[in-house]
A and B are shown apart, each in its own frame.
Chain A
Amino acid sequence: MNGDDGNRTTGETGPDEDAFADALLEEELRQAAAVLDPVPAELLQTALDAFALHDLDARLAELTFDSLVDALPVRGVMDPPRMLTFRAGEVTVDVEVTADGLIGQVLPPQAVRIEVLGGPQTASPLTADTLGRFTGETPPAGPFALRLRTGAEVIVTEWLRA
């Protein structure tokens, strides 16, 4: 009968022994991963430092459109710009990232101060006009977020890898 323990022919491996061997092997793999492929120390440190990015006063602008996911590839265009849209309530931020840099527009049009964050410790200002159009000379290298200061509030876009 299946599943009847204590009633097993000697020499066969039963389900319990198999499960035990599976658990042992899994544990062995876990130890192997810890030795051969651990989390790199500098990454762990970056993650620890990321606590500084926890900002209670800023409003989060969520990613609502990402051309990498939401747009069909254009035939023949080898390196299309990355189009992103973030939204926080009634405020929308459109961003286009190309090899030459970054351009974008805050809607509704308004004067903002805006900077690009590159990590817990790096922020560099972008040029913005009174209508909320902004440009950056260099494309973000690695993860980035935009921090906007409107007259009334601070908005930060969701972190993203460019």
Chain B
Amino acid sequence: MVQSAVDGDAAAWKALVEGMSPLVWSVVRAHRLSEADGHEVFQTVWFRFAQHLGGIREPDKTGAWLASTARHECLKVLRGLARLTLTDDPRVLDRASEDRTPEESLIDSEEAADRAERVRRLWQELDGLGERCRQLLRVLMASPPPSYGEISAALGIAVGSIGPLRQRCLRRLRARMDARGAV
């Protein structure tokens, strides 16, 4: 697909963008940038990818290249903000994107409403998991599921530590959901 895009095939480019955008977006969201900053990082990543298209030597590492580029741009934004405001309080950067409610999307039936309620809770509980887990899960839930190599590039953590961390974070989330359900 990368090779076809290099050769000028717009359909191949479209397939790449559609397949990889959720991963790039998940990296942006994992770093909790403001909306404007997040949008600029996302654009920068794709502009740069278009530039580097001819130089991509290993097409199967495209996802990792995009994830790593997104991560570095996110870190630059955070560094710039810290320098500008002399604060590294992550709460300053904490913007939830909750202008859409799940109810708007899924309200046909009572069952759907229950499901929507669970989705909304899951989303809330993510924030209580701690930064490491929240970041990992936000990237992990990109669609299609990212490879461990891509997750490693996205978050700067070793491939070998992803499996155990994933297990721990998912179990912690499950425990929190169970505890809420019991109330």
Contact = CB atoms under 8 A, between A and B. Distances in A.
Contacts of B84: 78-79
B25 A161 contact: no
Interface stretch (A38-46, A100-108, A126-134): A38-46
Interface in B102-151: 102, 105-106, 118-120, 122-123, 137-138, 140-143, 145
B20 to A, nearest CB: 9
User: Interface size bucket, B side?
Assistant: 35 or more
Contacts of A119: 43, 47
A16 B2 CA distance: 37
B116 to A, nearest CB: 8
Most buried by B among A30, A34, A35, A39: A39
A34 B97 CA distance: 13
A47 B21 contact: yes
B43 A32 contact: no
A29 B17 contact: no
Interface string A66-95: 101100010000111000000000000000
B137 A18 contact: no
Contacts of A52: 50
Contact of A50 (B46, B97, B106, B142): B46
Interface string B145-182: 10000000000000000000011001101100000000
A105 B106 CA distance: 56
A142 B42 CA distance: 11
A54 B53 contact: yes
A54 B5 contact: yes
A152 interface: no
Contacts of A64: none
Contacts of B80: 68
Report, nearest first, the 3 A-B pairs whose CB atoms are least far apart: A159-B47, A47-B46, A53-B50
Given A35-B106, A36-B123, A50-B43, 12 more contacts: A22-B166, A26-B141, A28-B122, A31-B119, A32-B102, A34-B143, A36-B120, A43-B39, A43-B42, A50-B47, A54-B8, A68-B79
21 contacts: A18-B167, A22-B167, A25-B170, A25-B173, A26-B141, A28-B118, A31-B119, A32-B102, A35-B106, A47-B43, A50-B47, A54-B13, A56-B54, A66-B76, A68-B76, A119-B43, A120-B47, A143-B43, A159-B44, A159-B47, A161-B41
